[in-house]
Amino acid sequence: MSDELRVGGQGLGNIKGKGASSVKVPKLWTGDYYNEGVGSSHDGLFDKLREECGVFGVFGHSEAASLSYYGLHALQHRGQESAGICVTGGDSFNYHRGMGLVKEVFNNENLGTLVGSNAIAHVRYSTSGESKLANAQPLVFKYREGDLAIATNGNLTNAPAIKRQLEKEGSIFQTTSDTEVVAHLIARSKHDDIVSAVKETLLKVEGAYAFLFMTKDKLIAARDPYGLRPFVMGRLGTAKLFASESCAFDTVGGQYYRDIEPGELLVMDLKTGTLTEDRFSPIKQRAICAMEYIYFARPDSDIDSTNIHSARKRMGRQLAIESFVDADVVTGVPDSSISAAIGYAEQTGIPYELGLIKNRYTGRTFIQPSQELREQGVKMKLSAVRSIVEGKRVVMIDDSIVRGTTSLRIVNLLREAGASEVHVRISSPPFQNPCFYGIDTPSRKELIAAVKSVEEIRQAINADSLHFLSKEGLLTAIGRPGGEYNRGHCTACFDNHYPTPVPDEAALSCGCD
C-alpha cells in the first residue's frame, strides 16, 4: 500500500476546487464522515501496524452482558471497526452487533435485551476484507445441535484452501470470515457433541487463534498449539472470565488467573457449572507474537506473567546499551513508545521529556482533508513541544518502522519545532516480513526495512542517526525464560522464520474479515 491509501476497498476520488482542475486524492473513508466506524486510530495518516481483534468471555455471571461491555472497552485498542456481544442463559441466544466503537454500538436499551449468565464478545479491525456488519462478530449460526456462536482473534493460514474445498462440496458462505469456515467444519463433523466436533475441527485448521465457542449450555475456549495469539483466563467471584489481554479483567473488577496454554481446550458446562481442562493438541512450539510485547498489548497487561510496561522499559534500556548517543532530551512517540523511552532515559541519564504530545480528540470530521492538509496530517495527531525540543539534540524513541512515512513526518515535526538533531531509536529489530497470524501488515515489498539498508532508511526518514534493537536484545529484554526456541516467541516479522507453514502472502486475508 502506498501513501495513496485505500480504505474499505475504495479507490481514488476526484475533488474539484474553484478555478482548479480536477485533482485525484485518496478517499479516506467510506461512510458519511471521515473515519466512520473506526474511531480515531484508523485514519490513514500513520503507517502503524494494527491488531485485528479482541475477544472477551464470561461464564456464570448474572451481568454477563455488562461485564462484556466493559471488557470490550478495555480491548478497544485491538479493534475499532465493529463490536458485538452474544449471551445465553441456557435457552435462546440474544446478541447485538454493530459498526463502530464499543460506546457507539451499545447503549442501555440494547444492553438491556442481552439477558443471560454466559457471554462471548468481540471487537474487530479488518484488513483486506470488507468492513461490513455481516463480518462483525460474534458470528451466530444454526446447526443440527442448536445455536452456535463463535468469536476469534487471529488468522487461519489454510482457511482459503479449506473454503474452496467446502464450496466445491456445496457449502454456501455468507461472510468472508475464517470463522465461518470453522463453523462449516463443525457442522459437517460426524460427532454430535460440540466438544468432539470442535476438537476435530481445530485439528484441521492451521495458524494463530484464540477461539471462544458458545452453545446454549456450554462455553469453550481454545488457543492454537503455538500460542501465537495471547489468551488469558480470569475470575470474578465464582464466574470465569476470558480475554485477549489481562487488562480487561482489571476493568471489570476481576483477577487474572492464568494464561490458556497452547493447544488447550477449556470447557464450561452450564448444567453442572463445572470447568473441564482438556486438550485438542499437544504444544507444538511456544511462539507468542513478539509484537504483543513491543507494541500491541496495553502497558497494564501481563503476558505469561510478564508485565508489558516493564518489558518495554527493559527494551529501552537495552536499546541504550546497544546504541547510546549523546543528546539533551529523550522523547517517545505516544503512546506505545513511552515505556521504552523512559527505559532509555533511565539507562543513559539523559532527561526524559514530553517532546511529543498526542491529540486524543481528533475523532471524526465531515471535512475532507485537502492535499496540503494531508501532507501535514500528522499535526492533527501529534504536536511537538517547541520549548522542550528547540535547540536540543533529541533522541526519538519509537517501537517500529513500517513504511517509513510516519517516521519521516515525526522527524520533520521535531525539526520544524527547532530540534538541532534528531536521533531515532527503534525498540524492535527491522520489520522485514509480513505477518500471517492476525496482524495487519503490508506486503514485503512495501516494508521499508525489506528493501532498504539501515543507512538508507536513516536518509529516507531524515534522521541524524538510526538504530534498531537487536533480536537478541529484544528477547533478553522481554525476559521470558530460555530453553525453548526463540525463548518461546514468534519473530518471523524480523527473521522470516515462521513457526507454521504459510501460503503465498497475496492469497491470504485477515481471519476476522
Kindly state which CATH superfamily the domain 50-284 is placed in.
Aminohydrolase, N-terminal nucleophile (Ntn) domain (3.60.20.10)
Q: Supply the pLDDT for residue 133.
A: 85
Task: With H, G, I as helix, E, B as strand and everything else as coil, classify residue 346.
Answer: helix
Instruction: Give the cell for residue 382.
Output: 501529534
Q: Could you tell me which residues come within 8 angstroms of residue 258 by beta carbon, excluding any fewer than 6 positions away?
A: 232, 233
Once rounded to an integer, what is the mean pLDDT over residues 208-237?
Answer: 97
Average pLDDT for 104-114: 96
Q: How many CA atoms lie within 13 A of 21 on its CB side?
A: 1
Q: 309-359+371-507 belongs to which CATH class? A: alpha beta
Neighbour tally for 472: CB within 10 Å: 11
- Grid coordinates in use for 179? 470463522
399 annotated as a binding-site residue: yes
Tell me the range of 3-7, 36-40, 43-47, 382-386 where mean pLDDT is highest.
Answer: 382-386
Give the pLDDT of residue 209: 96
3-state secondary structure of 25: strand
> Given this model, what pLDDT does residue 175 score?
84
Output the CA–CA distances (angstroms, integers) from residue 10 to 130, 131, 307, 339, in the order listed: 10, 11, 40, 36
The pLDDT tens digits of the residues spanning 291-318 come to 999 999 999 999 999 999 999 999 999 9
Residue 153: half-sphere exposure toward Cβ, Cα within 13 Å: 32
Give the model's pLDDT for residue 478: 97
Does the annotation place 510 within a ligand binding site?
no
Going by pLDDT thresholds of 50, 70 and 90, the confidence category of residue 376 is low
Q: Please report which confidence band the pLDDT of residue 360 belongs to, taking 50, 70 and 90 as the band edges.
A: confident
Under the banding of pLDDT at 50, 70 and 90, the label for residue 483 is confident
How far is it, in rounded angstroms, from Cα 167 to Cα 240?
37
Q: pLDDT per residue over 439-448, tens digit each?
A: 878 788 899 9
Bridge partners (DSSP) of residue 82 are: 99, 124
For residue 179, what are the CA distances in angstroms to 160, 195, 211, 440? 12, 17, 9, 17
| 129 — pLDDT class (breaks 50, 70, 90) | very low
Q: Spot the catalytic one: 53, 86, 510, 512.
A: 53
| Grid cell locating 25 | 486524492
* Percent of residues, the chain, with pLDDT higher than 90: 71
* Cα–Cα dist 262/134, whole Å: 30
- Does residue 427 or residue 41 have the better pLDDT? 427
Residues in the chain, how many? 513
Q: Which residues contact residue 310 at a Cβ distance below 8 angstroms, ignoring those fewer than 6 apart?
A: none
Give 41 or 181, the one with higher predicted confidence.
181
Among 21-30, 37-46, 419-428, 492-501, top mean pLDDT goes to 419-428
Between 302 and 8, residue with greater pLDDT:
302
- What is the SS3 string spanning 40-86? CCCCCCCCCCEECEEEEEEECCCCHHHHHHHHHHHCHHHCCCEEEEE
Q: Yes or no: say if 58 and 243 are a contact pair by the CB < 8 Å rule.
A: no
Q: What integer pLDDT is reported at residue 370 of this predicted model?
A: 55
What are the tens digits of pLDDT across the range 240-298? 999 999 999 999 999 999 999 999 999 999 999 999 999 999 999 999 999 999 999 99
CA-wise closest residue to 317 among 352, 288, 292, 290: 352
Q: Is 86 marked as a binding-site residue?
A: no
347 against 136, higher pLDDT: 347
426-452 average pLDDT score: 91
Cα 82 from Cα 130, distance rounded (Å): 12
Residue 125 C-alpha cell reads as 479491525
pLDDT value for 26: 36
Preceding peptide of 335 cis, ω within 30° = yes
pLDDT category at 143 given cuts 50, 70, 90 is: confident
Tell me if 53 sits within 8 A of 152, measured CB to CB.
Answer: yes
Q: For the chain, what are the domain ranges? A: 50-284, 309-359+371-507
Please provide the DSSP assignment of 97-149 as one string: EEES-HHHH--HHHHHT---SEEEEEEE--SSS---GGG-SSEEEEETTEEEE
User: How many Cβ atoms are within 10 Å of 501's Cβ, its own excluded?
Assistant: 10
Q: pLDDT tens, 366-375?
A: 444 554 555 5
Mean pLDDT across 335-347: 96
Range 408-413 average pLDDT = 95
Closest C-alpha among 151, 152, 155, 124 to residue 140 = 151
CB 394 within 8 A of CB 356: no
Is-catalytic flag, 53? yes
* pLDDT at res. 145: 78
What would the grid cell of residue 159 be?
482457511
| Region of poorest pLDDT, from 224-228, 354-358, 359-363 | 359-363
- End-to-end C-alpha distance for the chain, whole angstroms: 18
Collapsed DSSP state (helix, strand, coil) of residue 319:
helix
pLDDT at 33 over 60: no
β-strands 302-303, 306-307 pairing: antiparallel
Strand (E) or helix (H) holding 412: helix 405-416
Q: How far apart are CA 277 and CA 273, in angstroms?
A: 13
9 DSSP 8-state letter: T
Taking the C-alpha atoms of 15, 24, 2 and 436 in order, what is their torsion angle to the nearest 10 degrees?
60
Mean pLDDT for all residues in the chain:
86
pLDDT at 6 over 70: no
Whether 398 has a binding-site annotation, put simply, is yes
Q: Residue 185 to residues 144, 162, 197, 266, 502: CA-CA distances in angstroms?
A: 13, 9, 8, 19, 21
pLDDT range class, residue 125, cuts 50, 70, 90: confident
> Average pLDDT in the 235-243 region?
97
